[in-house]
């Protein structure tokens, strides 16, 4: 099973600040890494697929990068509505696995 | 517009059974992989099961293998999760999620979830 770790676990950020969340895989997963946003009491929403491809309708301030075992989700100029937990997910092999999540709070 | 609507959750005793349903609309159901993902209260996301594009292959997490079964009815655009021998650790919100047309991959649309509580 491929284990995904995320850092940080929690981040408190002021609006307009840049946020960087990292996801590390226990073995190489190529570019099969996706990012989701989950707000309280809502279902997850896809932000980025295959490392760097933005999903339809996602604001351009969200971007992804990386390959192999190290990946990054970047939120440029954070907005208040971005307060949420962010999860990475690998689909390189079954069982699919998710990272533990990074909670982003607005100061 | 893609919509996924889960139903069938509730309170069940340990050892009991429950069948979850996911009603899909807005896309050609048989052309996409479909999955179930769960989230225990206050916890992260856990992949449960995936039905491949075309429905020939069903895959399960080790934690549910032998107890859960996925199926689908393409005539009614519904996707199911039959859960048997339920345990307290199966307590979670269960989400139905649409996959890509190449199978597996990312989950681009999610339902609102249905809560399953396993308790005596």
Q: How far is CA A5 from CA A21, A28, B41, B48, in A?
A: 11, 13, 20, 19
Confidence of residue B65 (pLDDT cuts 50, 70, 90): very high
Both structure tokens of B114 = 């249905």
What size, in residues, is chain A? Answer: 107
Confidence of residue B55 (pLDDT cuts 50, 70, 90): confident
Q: Is the pLDDT of residue B36 over 80?
A: yes
Which of B47, B107, B113 comes nearest A97 by C-beta? B47
Q: Which of B49, B64, B107, B113 to mutate to test the interface with A (most CBs of A within 10 A)?
A: B107
The answer to whether the Cβ–Cβ distance between A98 and B46 falls below 8 Å is yes
Is residue B6 within 8 A of residue B98, CB to CB? The reply is no
Q: Is the pLDDT of residue A107 over 80?
A: yes
Q: Is the pLDDT of residue B74 over 90?
A: no
Is residue A83 within 8 A of residue A17, CB to CB? The reply is no
Residues 6+ apart with CB under 8 A from B11: B117, B119
The answer to whether the Cβ–Cβ distance between B62 and A55 falls below 8 Å is no
Q: Is the pLDDT of residue B104 over 70?
A: no
Could you tell me what percent of chain B has a pLDDT over 90? Answer: 80
Q: Which of B36-40, B50-54, B74-78 has the lowest mean pLDDT?
A: B50-54
CA distance B107 to A60: 20
Q: Is B49 helix (H, G, I), strand (E, B) or coil?
A: strand
């Amino acid at each position: 099973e491929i284990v995904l770790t995320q850092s940080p676990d929690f981040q408190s950020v002021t609006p307009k600040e840049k946020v960087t969340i990292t996801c590390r895989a226990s073995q190489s997963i190529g570019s099969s890494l996706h990012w989701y946003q989950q707000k309280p009491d809502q279902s997850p929403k896809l932000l980025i697929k295959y490392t760097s491809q933005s999903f339809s309708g996602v604001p351009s301030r969200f971007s992804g990068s990386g390959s192999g075992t190290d990946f990054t989700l970047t939120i440029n100029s954070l907005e208040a509505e971005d307060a949420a937990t962010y999860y990475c997910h690998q689909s390189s092999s079954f069982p699919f696995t998710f990272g533990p999540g990074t909670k982003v709070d607005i100061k | 517009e893609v919509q996924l609507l889960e139903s069938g959750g509730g309170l069940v005793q340990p050892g009991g059974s429950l069948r979850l349903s996911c009603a899909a609309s807005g896309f050609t159901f048989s052309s996409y992989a479909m999955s179930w993902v769960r989230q225990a209260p206050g916890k992260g996301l856990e992949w449960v099961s995936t039905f491949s594009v075309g429905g020939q292959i069903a895959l399960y997490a080790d934690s549910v293998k032998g107890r859960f079964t996925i199926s689908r009815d393409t005539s009614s655009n519904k996707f199911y999760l039959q859960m048997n021998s339920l345990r307290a650790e199966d307590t979670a919100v269960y989400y139905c999620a649409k996959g890509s047309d190449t199978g597996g991959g990312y989950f681009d649309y999610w339902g609102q979830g249905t809560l399953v509580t396993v308790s005596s």
